[in-house]
Structure 1
Amino acid sequence: MDISINTPALLFPAITLLMLAYTNRFLGLATLIRSLHTKYKQVQEDREIIRAQIRNLRKRLMLIKHMQGAGISSFFLCVLSMLFFYLENQVMAFSCFGLSLLFLLISLALSLNEIYISTRALEIELKDMLEE
């Protein structure tokens, strides 16, 4: 396989957009947690629904942290790969690029899992509205 310093550079826009999406998810989740905290302090009934949401949010928060970590690792290894291409160390360049792709895949898999969990949170809300 013949790749050059330009090949890892092709991932830059994709990883950057992915990190932006993850940051937006994190900010949305932080806003939701803050509003849920306020609601939890004010309301004495229906706390079990709020507790279910809190458990869900904890899982999502942990997943987003790992998604961001894997995405940053992918970006770091991509840059490191380019550095090794520049230094003409092909073995290290290929290895770093391969690891970069692996971390990108891990990040995407975690993202998919987070999406499934977030839909469960919406199902909790829908179930609560149907019971009223």
Structure 2
Amino acid sequence: MEIDLTTPALLFSAISLIMLAYTNRFLSYAGLVRALKEQHQKSHSSVTAAQIANLRKRLYLTRAMQVTGIASLLLCVVSMFFIYIRLYLASVYIFGLALVLLIISLTISVYEIYISVKALEIHLNDMDD
């Protein structure tokens, strides 16, 4: 099975957009951390403590999403290099690994969304009380 240079290149735009979304999430979390720090210093409530724990988990998941996404992009480039030097079989396997890493990154993203909903539920429950 052979692939050409355009096959791994197809993922560049998709991975770039995903990485932009991941970066935006990270930046919004950075703002939340700063706001929660001020809130936590004023009053040590159980809601703030729950939000901090939730946010810490989401930050680690975002880092994992970014790392696997970047590794996927890197392996796409390596796959293109292997195609360039005519190591077609190796390029196919490396491209396959890049796809697996992208799948892992997207799966982590879905889990992180689930955790984010829990954070919003904490706020909603606090408003109900």
TM-score (norm 2): 0.97
1:18-57 mapped onto 2 (5 Å cutoff): 18-44=18-44, 47-57=45-55
Q: Does 1:108 align with 2:106?
A: yes
On the 8 A contact 2:2/2:89 being kept in 1, the answer is no
Equivalent position amino acid for 2:114 in 1 = Y
Task: Identify unmatched segments of 5+ residues in structure 1.
Answer: none
CA distance in 1, matches of 2:30, 2:116: 13
SS in 2 for 1:10: helix
Equivalent position amino acid for 2:27 in 1 = L
% identical equivalent positions: 52
After TM superposition, the runs of 4+ consecutive aligned structure 1 residues lying more than 6 A away are none
Task: Identify unmatched segments of 5+ residues in structure 2.
Answer: none
| Residues 87-131 of structure 1, C-alpha deviations (whole Å, 9 max, x = no match) | 000111001100000000000000000000000000000000010
Partner residue, 1:94: 92
CA distance in 1, matches of 2:62, 2:122: 20
CA distance in 2, matches of 1:3, 1:78: 12
TM-score (norm 1): 0.95
Give the total of aligned pairs.
129
